[in-house]
Structure 1
Amino acid sequence: MQKNKKIIVTMMTLSVILLPAKPFAQNIPGVGVVTGLAKKVIKAIDLKVQRLQNKTIGLQNAQKLLENTFSKLHLQEITGWVQQQKDLYANYYNELWRVKSVITYYHRIKEITQKQKLLLSSYQRA
């Protein structure tokens, strides 16, 4: 960041120096050479700034990619956990269903046994 400030200050200083020199360029020898050299320096600095900006953009894109990948992995972890919970409860309810079926079966046997006892006692009385 400090380099960018120095580059900007240098560019502003050169532009201030070059602006008033243009009307006097015809009267002072060598001003054209200095002006041309200053323009080349400004262009070089501008290219350097553009390269730094491109690198910054590239790094920002890489950061976004990493953040998106991290988020995706985090979501996959959450999805895995949710699936584990779903499987756990599905197994739990299946076991409860089997137990309920067995209990219902034994209650039915108990009812049939009681009816047979009543029928037998009624038969014996008769």
Structure 2
Amino acid sequence: MSIRNGLLALLAERPMYGYQLRAEFESRTGSTWPLNIGQVYTTLRRLERDGLVEGDEDPGPQAPAGGEGRGIVYRLTAAGHAAARNWWTKPVSRRTAGRDELAIKLALAVTEARR
């Protein structure tokens, strides 16, 4: 499971700031996969480059987590929504080493915000 797919899945629910994505990912996976905020922003830049997300400055007086200034809100593009749907429907390979992608996918699915 890559951070990329986790962020796409979360952004499929609603637009979020980078810090919100990090907190939501960690909360919904039971903190079994702690993320460095640098990983989140590096991944968001790659997703922007690949046309899967777009970031817009939030004109609000404060960025999330009490930071000063403006924040960037990230949202999926049409291609991003398609990539997220593809990840949700793609079977998990049991030969993949590393963290258990199935467990992460289930954690995100069970805690998905109800619409």
TM-score using structure 2 length: 0.24
**Structure with greater proportional strand content:** 2
Q: Point out the structure with max Rg over C-alpha.
A: 1
Larger relative contact order (C-alpha < 8 A, sep ≥ 6)? Answer: 2
TM-score using structure 1 length: 0.22
**Structure with greater proportional helix content:** 1
